[in-house]
Amino acid sequence: MVASLPGEPFVYMTGQFDRILRRRGIENLIYTGFAADMCVLNAPGGIVPMAERGYRVYLVRDATLGVEFPDTFEERLATRWAVRFFESHYGDTVTSQDFVRSCERLVERREL
């Protein structure tokens, strides 16, 4: 079971998510996950509704999987479609390795 820790917000609607992010000054959202061709793109708090609210959205392409079927799994057709849809409508994707490296560089800069 997954549960929020005491004091952590629990949201399930785009408007709730938006209000919490704005209060915290968050402007960039990093997306990963399952069902990239459905939920990651369109669910409440997903890429499409959050981009429409002005957030900069990024997709970690190698940490994302679409809903594949036996005949699409080997080629990852749904996954490839979701990644291409994101790149053609919202911007660049990153790899998990590049994302981790960028986070490490930020930590190093703050330590200087």
pLDDT tens string for the chain (112 positions)? Answer: 778 899 888 888 999 999 999 999 999 999 999 998 898 999 999 999 999 999 999 999 999 999 999 999 999 999 999 999 999 999 889 999 999 999 999 998 887 7
What is d(CA 66, CA 77) in angstroms, rounded to the nearest whole number?
8
What is the structure's pLDDT at 35?
A: 92
Give the tokens for residue 54.
């002005």
What is the structure's pLDDT at 91?
A: 87
**Full-model pTM:** 0.86
11 phi/psi in degrees, rounded to 5: -130, 150
What is the structure's pLDDT at 17?
A: 96
What is the structure's pLDDT at 6?
A: 92
38: which residues sit within 8 A by CB, 6+ positions away? 66, 67
Structural domains of the chain, ranges and CATH numbers in brackets:
14-111 (3.40.50.850)
What is the structure's pLDDT at 60?
A: 97
What is d(CA 99, CA 107) in angstroms, rounded to the nearest whole number?
13
What is the structure's pLDDT at 3?
A: 83
